[in-house]
Amino acid sequence: MTSQAIGLAEAVGLPFEHKTIGLRAPWRWLPGHLCPGVFHGLTPDSDPVGPPWPRLLITCGRRSAALSIAIRRLSAGKTLTVHIQDPQIPARHFDLVVPPRHDGLEGENVFATRGALHRVTPEKLAEAAQAQGARLAGLPRPLVAVLVGGSNRTCRLTPQVSTSIGKQLAALARNHGAGIALTPSRRTGSENLEALREALRDVPHFIWDGQGDNPYLALLGLADHIVVTGDSVSMVSEAASTGKPVHVVDLEGYSQRLVVFHHQLRREGVTRSFPGPLENWSYEPVNDTPRVAAHIRGMLTDRFGAS
């Protein structure tokens, strides 16, 4: 959620502040449009929120919806409110709602995206590749970047599955003379990471050990192919923003939303299943963040005039 909100704010191009809020019970249980006195429900570790109200407020996540509605009301409608993801309440409570299209949300003020919004840009990829390229300079080409997620509410990543993925990657390296560069997420877990490391020990590889800067963006920038676990819409979306071949490792337990998300991208020729042939293909990069940002800038101009 943080990456999506900040990524959109950066793309809009105005100075901004990032705030994280939390709600105590019973406020966190109530629907956003039925959450009176929401400012009294903020947890002690929440960032301070108060006037003067901004011209633009970008929120993400169900719990921030109530705060957005309250600020819209207190500002007498002068704050343009944009909510990322499905707020689970009527879209009319916001000036703009930006959900992924696999949520199926429609409306006059709904801007559905193909995937998750994010902070990845060609400029950031080039900068990261330049800064961290030396770490991967010893790996052969083609270079396969591997983005590993982990278990969530529905999907499961186990050491057995990780071993299988690692062996498939090792076979890829042997059959194609490829180098493997892998970065885990916080959800991967030490047991899964160790299983991957063991399976890859006999082929040229790099695995980020958590020391120093995460080479995630550098991997995206330097890779010839990208392999990504399918548990994360954000990771798949970021990989698909590069225009490079994206091979998705399907995990068991996809929610219906994830099923639809992956089906749509494969039908459109963006992603393919892993394991599979290490083929090259092209597609229009999946990145709606600049389009949403341009739409917001137009809304700001309509409301406040050019400035």
* Residue 8 to residues 11, 181, 182, Cα–Cα distance (Å): 5, 28, 27
Q: Is residue 248 part of a domain?
A: yes
Query: What integer pLDDT is reported at residue 63 of this predicted model?
Result: 80
Q: Do 81 and 141 fall within a single domain?
A: no
Does residue 279 lie within any of the structural domains? no
Q: By 3-state DSSP, what share of the chain in percent is helix, strand and coil, each rounded to 5?
A: 40, 15, 45
The token pair at 279 is 């083929």
* pLDDT at residue number 21: 86
52 burial (CB, 10 Å; 0-12 / 13-18 / 19+) is exposed
Task: Report if residue 247 sits inside a domain.
Answer: yes
Examine residue 284 and state whether it is found in any structural domain, yes or no. no
- What span, in angstroms and rounded, lies between the C-alpha atoms of 135 and 170? 20
Together in a domain, 126 and 268: yes
Q: Identify whether residues 139 and 270 lie together within a single domain.
A: yes
Question: Does residue 63 sit within a domain?
Answer: yes
**CATH code at position 181:** 3.40.50.2000
- Considering the domain boundaries, does residue 281 fall inside one? no
Instruction: Please name the amino acid found at residue 152.
Output: N
Rounded Cα–Cα distance for residues 53 and 50 (Å)? 7
Same domain (yes/no): 107, 11:
yes
**What are the tokens at 246?**
């994206």
Grouped pLDDT means (10 residues each) for the chain, 307 residues: 94 95 73 68 88 95 87 92 93 95 93 95 95 91 96 92 97 95 94 96 94 92 97 96 97 93 97 92 95 97 82
Do 192 and 93 belong to one domain?
no
- Domain check: are 130 and 103 in the same one? no
pLDDT (0 to 100) of residue 27: 67
43 in a structural domain: yes
Q: Verify that 208 and 190 share a domain, yes or no.
A: yes
- Do 30 and 95 lie in one domain? The reply is yes
Q: According to the model, what pLDDT value does residue 61 have?
A: 84
Per-residue tokens: 142 = 């083609």
Distances from the Cα of 208 to the Cα of 111, 162, 193, 213, 307, angstroms = 36, 16, 10, 9, 44
263 domain-assigned:
yes
H or E stretch covering 98 = strand 96-98
Residue 12 domain boundaries: 2-117+290-304
Q: How many CA atoms lie within 13 A of 90 on its CB side?
A: 4
Give the burial class of 9: count Cβ atoms within 10 A of its Cβ; 0-12 exposed, 13-18 middle, 19 or more buried.
buried
Are 205 and 142 contained in the same domain?
yes
Q: How far is CA 252 from CA 39, 126, 157, in A?
A: 40, 34, 8
pLDDT at 40: 77
Residues 55 and 126 grouped into a single domain: no
- The pLDDT assigned to 30 comes to 64
Q: 155 and 18 in one domain?
A: no
Number of domains in the chain: 2
Report the sign of the C-alpha dihedral through residues 261, 266, 270, 271, in that order. positive
If asked whether residues 145 and 65 sit together in one domain, one would say: no
Encode burial over 271-289: b for 16+ CB neighbours within 10 A, e otherwise: beebeeebeeeeeeebbbb
Distances (CA, A) of 244 to 74, 128, 227, 258, 271: 46, 17, 10, 21, 9
